[in-house]
Amino acid sequence: MTVSVAELAHNVGATDTPGSPRGRSEIPVTERNHPDNLLLLCHGCHRKIDNADLRDLYTVDVLREIKSRHEDMVMAATDFATQHRSLIVTTRASVRGTTTKASNRQIAQALIEARRAPYSVDGRQIRVEIDLTDSESEPWVWERGCQRIDEAVARLEADTCGGAVDHVSVFALAPIPLLTYLGHRLDDKYGVEVHRRDRVDSDTAWCWPRNENADINFTTSLDDTESDAREAVVLVSVSGTVTRDRIPEGLAQLPVLELRPDGVLPGLDAIGSRTDLQRFSVAWRQLLALVEQRLPQARTLHVLAAVPAPAAVNMGRYRPRIVSPALVMYQRTDADTFEAAVKITE
């Protein structure tokens, strides 16, 4: 018995007649059976893309992008010569009352796009999952969150002994103070890629865009101030704006440093690519260097940040140990104020 599981479809229609889906094109009819113009689809998807009511949705350009992404995915998944193993670190966290976690399918898609294979032992995939679902209203939430991160990193480091793991892929959503603490504990002892969660829920939600927007830079500044200050406030405005009137009353007289996008307003898309994240990380290191140069006596930085998850993790990763001031990470409350949550000292 023969069972049909796929059908050959055309992107630009097979003919240039009015009834041919996407048939109006400069591509000659004689070239429309070329493999570049063909798609292998199930019966349902074939009917969907050719439906007259959906032709404005499934355009030639859209179908080319879908085909290109699928071809890249298959190539990456089967190109074993360039694949590298990575230990997966995920969080299961409560963010504004909603529990969030990357699905297995989303993680798999992101690893394929990054040409990574999940770390496994005897065919069993090994990953580290951190439970950060405690409510922010609990007085012990930050202490227990840091403790669970410490325990997770200890498990990770046990696997990295002897070089078994040299790369970590992070899929994390959590309050900014805990993400920064996670980055601090990961440090830079091995390669780390922090994946970004897209706002649209799909199988590719944790994949970095293939077409990178490299136009966004970041700038840092410091108020004119006395160089003997032992504390300072850092306002980091990336996914949103942290204004000076948000600074807690007890910190109002301290010097203020700021980090923000250069020439554009902060917003949810300010870090939309790996390049954007790299540039943010460079700016963060420059800010810490500015503290060292201009505020050499500073021992504590009070950080109020509105940043996406990858930026929060990298703020912790790229804080030099020993020589840097302690970071006191603040969390925005439901009352739109900031309260101290996590202190990073070592």
Q: Are residues 227 and 340 in the same domain?
A: yes
- pTM of structure: 0.78
Query: How high does pLDDT run on average in the chain?
Result: 86
C-alpha torsion sign, points 60, 63, 67, 72: positive
- Secondary structure element (H or E) that encloses residue 96, with its range: none
Among candidate residues 26, 56, 78, the one where a domain is terminated: 78
Which tens digit of pLDDT belongs to each residue from 201-240?
A: 888 899 998 766 567 899 999 988 777 899 999 999 999 9
C-alpha 257/C-alpha 287 separation (Å) is 8
| pLDDT for residue 94 is more than 70 | yes
Q: Are residues 174 and 244 in the same domain?
A: no
Q: Which of 38-42, 74-78, 223-227 has the lowest mean pLDDT?
A: 74-78
Q: Which of 128-142, 161-175, 331-345 has the lowest mean pLDDT?
A: 161-175
- Total number of domains constituting the chain: 3
Residue 9's pLDDT band, with cuts at 50, 70 and 90, is confident
- Whichever domain contains 188, its CATH number is 3.40.50
Q: How many C-beta atoms surround the C-beta of residue 34 within 10 A?
A: 10
Its domain, for residue 231, covers: 218-344
Q: Would 202 be classed as within a structural domain? A: no
pLDDT (0 to 100) of residue 91: 94
Enumerate residues 6+ apart whose C-beta is below 8 A from 171. 88, 89, 90, 91, 102, 106, 107, 110, 195, 197, 206
Q: What angle do CA 170, 103, 88 make, to 5 degrees?
A: 30
Which tens digit of pLDDT belongs to each residue from 262-278?
A: 988 999 888 989 999 99
| pLDDT for residue 159 is more than 70 | no
| pLDDT for residue 84 is more than 80 | no
pLDDT (0 to 100) of residue 21: 85
Q: Are residues 258 and 299 in the same domain?
A: yes
Q: Would 212 be classed as within a structural domain? A: no
pLDDT (0 to 100) of residue 212: 62
User: Does residue 66 contact residue 146 with C-beta atoms inside 8 Å?
Assistant: no
Q: Would 334 be classed as within a structural domain? A: yes
Q: Are residues 50 and 167 in the same domain?
A: no
Residue 322's pLDDT band, with cuts at 50, 70 and 90, is low
| pLDDT for residue 323 is more than 70 | no
